[in-house]
């Protein structure tokens, strides 16, 4: 549904209906580009919809991606997240979300115990934002380590430091629920990549990992290969556009002949592990 296709009064009516609905399970609005005066009028309706989530007990999926979400709407979403006990998935990717707005979501996550999927890819988050999310999930020092709900986390295109990635990975080493992690185009460089690869050697639950466009084409491909040799849970790995050199590609190809669980590399099926693995690794 596009917000541009309904009036402000219509959005308010929708919010009222959501409050009392006992059957609605998924609510999605995207690509509305809420700018200019009209967007200002719609803002109130958008906040009302987020507020409705505090009373609604059936919606499990909320998608408001690519809407140029404002601070006010993020605040309303965060307020709902604090008290809502049914939401399982939130997608707020592709919005102009700053670190300050991320702080609101992070604070809400300290209280929420039901959210399973949080997609915040392609936003304006930086190292500060990652720290806020990590701190929130690690409330009382170890929240992420013992968190039993979050299974899918998307933080692609965040500009984060290696140290923040290291802290994040330390918490994930013993986490036994997160299965999908998306970190495309995060500029994590060598130290950050090293932390993630160490994580792969110890974590036994991650099945999908995206590290495309992270400038890890130097000596880290060998470390990727080493991680693949010992990891026995990862089934999908995306490492496209990392300028991996020939020796790194060879190391990965050799590791794939030993690894028996990885079935998808860069979106391609590698179940035929000999010739197919050679072809797919060469695309990195």
Distance in angstroms (rounded) separating the CA atoms of residues 200 and 178:
12
In the chain, which ranges are E strands?
26-28, 61-63, 89-91, 117-119, 152-154, 180-182, 208-210, 236-238, 264-265, 268-269
pLDDT tens for each residue of 229-266: 999 999 999 998 888 888 888 889 899 999 989 999 98
Token digits of residue 35: 């700018």
Least confident interval from 79-88, 109-118, 125-134, 207-216: 125-134
Q: Give the mean model confidence (pLDDT) for residues 164-174.
A: 80
Specify whether the CB–CB gap between 284 and 244 falls below 8 A: yes
Helix, strand, coil percentages in the chain from 3-state DSSP, rounded to 5: 45, 10, 45
CA distances for 44 relative to 3, 13, 59, 198, 200, angstroms: 12, 12, 21, 46, 45
pLDDT tens for each residue of 13-46: 878 888 888 888 888 777 765 444 444 545 566 6
Query: Which residue is it, tokens 């719609």?
Result: 42
With a cut of 90, say whether residue 209 has pLDDT above it.
yes
pLDDT at 140: 37
Range of the domain at 91: 3-281
The mean of the pLDDT values for the chain is 76
Distance in angstroms (rounded) separating the CA atoms of residues 249 and 170:
28
Residue 255 belongs to a domain with what CATH number?
3.80.10.10
Instruction: Please count the structural domains in the chain.
Output: 1
Full-prediction pTM beyond 0.85? Answer: no
pLDDT tens for each residue of 55-103: 888 888 887 777 666 666 677 778 888 888 888 888 888 777 777 777 7
With a cut of 80, say whether residue 47 has pLDDT above it.
no
With a cut of 90, say whether residue 129 has pLDDT above it.
no
Query: Which residue is it, tokens 């984060």?
Result: 160
């Amino acid at each position: 549904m596009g917000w541009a296709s309904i009036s402000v009064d219509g959005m308010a009516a929708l919010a009222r209906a959501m409050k009392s609905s006992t059957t609605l399970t998924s609510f999605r609005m995207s690509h509305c580009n809420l700018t200019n005066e009209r967007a200002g009028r719609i803002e109130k309706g958008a906040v009302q919809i987020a507020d409705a989530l505090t009373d609604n007990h059936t919606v499990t999926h909320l998608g408001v991606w690519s809407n140029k979400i404002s601070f006010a709407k993020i605040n309303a979403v965060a307020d709902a997240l604090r008290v809502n006990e049914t939401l399982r998935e939130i997608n707020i990717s592709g919005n102009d979300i700053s670190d300050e707005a991320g702080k609101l979501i992070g604070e809400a996550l300290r209280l929420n115990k039901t959210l399973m999927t949080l997609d915040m890819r392609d936003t304006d988050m930086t190292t500060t934002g990652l720290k806020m999310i990590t701190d929130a999930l690690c409330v009382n020092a170890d929240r992420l380590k013992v968190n039993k709900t979050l299974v899918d986390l998307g933080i692609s295109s965040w500009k984060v430091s290696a140290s923040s990635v290291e802290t994040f990975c330390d918490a994930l080493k013993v986490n036994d629920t997160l299965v999908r992690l998306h970190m495309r185009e995060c500029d994590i460089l060598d130290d950050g990549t090293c932390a993630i690869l160490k994580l792969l050697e110890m974590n036994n639950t991650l099945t999908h990992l995206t590290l495309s466009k992270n400038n890890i084409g130097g000596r880290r491909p060998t470390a990727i290969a080493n991680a693949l040799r010992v990891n026995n849970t990862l089934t999908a790995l995306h490492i496209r556009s990392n300028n991996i050199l020939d020796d790194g590609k060879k190391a990965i190809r050799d590791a794939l002949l030993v690894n028996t669980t990885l079935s998808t590399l860069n979106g391609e099926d590698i179940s035929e592990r000999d010739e197919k693995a050679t072809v797919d690794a060469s695309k990195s």
